[in-house]
Amino acid sequence: MSKPFSTLPSTARVTPTPFEVSIPKGRLTEMETLIKLAKLAPPTYENSQTDCRYGITTHWLVTMRELWLRSYKWKASEDRINSFPQWTTEVEDMTIHFVGLFSEKKDAIPILLIHGWPGSFLEFIPILELFQKEYSPSTLPFHLIVPSLPGYTFSSGPPLDKNFTTEDISRIFDQLMRDLGFEGGYVAQGGDIGSRIARAMAVDYESCKAVHLNVTFMGRPEGMTDDGLDTYEREGIERMNNFRTMGSGYATEHGTRPSTIGHVISSNPVALLAWIGEKFLEWVDDPLPPNHILESVTLYWLTDTFPRSIYTYRQNFPPPPIPVTNTPRWYIKKPLGFSSFPMELARLPRSWVETTGNLVFWGQHKQGGHFAALERPEELKSDLVEFVQQVWPGIAGGK
């Protein structure tokens, strides 16, 4: 029996293969063994700092490892994931996995939700749950599609014989949306790397009619000073500068030596927990439940995601002389919506974001961080719905 929200529109040009997560028991046993055998670093001044100024503490890592072994259950995560309709489909000889909620309404608006690193489709599960509770398949006003980026979780990795970039991802995702029957138009939403992909889709593909972002990566716009900015906006710029100075070492490693760090982190699940668990600790406003961090790390480990997922960072090295979003090439002429959360890594003033596109919607929030879809799903959902309802009647023929 098919799941609710699993009927694709009649305009779909492909028949995706239904998908369910089923990790072999042997893989789970191997992971548990490696967690038990993992050697931890000896005590140091750095790993003893409770403010985590030098990274995660030994205490946190030991505590999380014990929870991983004694209380976290992958089967519960697997059941939760499988409660949503999922599929795989082929695009350019790549297998693309996606979760979706499809409406039975003929005028439903397609929305593509794009995650980043160290995230996955799991980030958008809370928003999908909200839509599930609020609507039935016959009343849902949107089609919601959450793909796994190439190299992430159940999507195949990028090619082994040629370079692959965020622009390639944007081309593949545009093709995915058109294959699903949305050639007439769709809206893209993204944070982190997803924001860059969504921007490229808006700039390069006619079918992408509007974009909603919750972060943009940029430098100071030419000729723009801090004059006229309020204290909150100045603090946001300071936060971005501090992140670039003290928090972006991982990105330099990803971008300059992805092979080396890929081998290192792939050797040990506890190493993976340390490397990406740090981000789920530092990049949020309110702390995430430990089980969520363990769920994300476990999914990465069981799908060999880490070494396959960091290729997009190479585009930043050597650094471009001008940040990409500041250039005319990446200016979004289509309707642009933006949601600003206080603990975002690059919380930038509205006046800066306005230089990167046709900004028609701005949502300012009092709580939330880098993983907005996960941390503040109600707020992000509300902004996205308001933005789409505002702009859609004037685009895609109101379709």
**105 Cβ contact list (under 8 Å, min separation 6):** 138, 139, 140, 141
* Two tokens, residue 254: 């990803």
21, 74 contact by CB (below 8 A):
no
* Total-model pTM: 0.97
* Active site (catalytic) residues: 192, 313, 370
According to the model, what pLDDT value does residue 372 have? 97
pLDDT digits (tens, 9 = 90+) for 244-278: 999 999 999 999 999 999 999 999 999 999 999 99
Question: Taking Cα atoms as reference points, which of 301, 308, 303, 310 lies closest to residue 68?
Answer: 301
Residue 15 to residue 10: CA distance in whole angstroms = 11
CATH code: domain 27-38+53-397 is 3.40.50.1820
Residue 272 to residue 275: CA distance in whole angstroms = 5
Q: What is the CA radius of gyration of the chain?
A: 21
* Two tokens, residue 52: 């985590």
Residue 80 to residue 97: CA distance in whole angstroms = 16
Question: Taking Cα atoms as reference points, which of 102, 113, 174 lies closest to residue 142?
Answer: 102
Average pLDDT over every residue of 84-104: 98
Residue 316 to residue 299: CA distance in whole angstroms = 27
pLDDT digits (tens, 9 = 90+) for 168-192: 999 999 999 999 999 999 999 999 9
Residue 40 reports pLDDT greater than 90: yes
Bridge partners, 95 (sequence order): 90
pLDDT above 90 covers a percentage of the chain that reads 92
CA distances from 71 to 67, 129, 162, 300 (A): 5, 24, 42, 19
277-303: burial string, b at 16+ Cβ within 10 Å, e else: bbbbbbbbbeebebebbbbbbbbbbbb
Helix or strand holding residue 98 (H, E):
strand 94-101
CA distances from 336 to 214, 255, 359, 387 (A): 11, 29, 5, 9
DSSP annotation of 246 reads I
DSSP annotation of 343 reads B
Average pLDDT over every residue of 232-243: 95
147: left (phi over 0), alpha (psi -120 to 50) or beta: beta
pLDDT digits (tens, 9 = 90+) for 289-301: 999 999 999 999 9
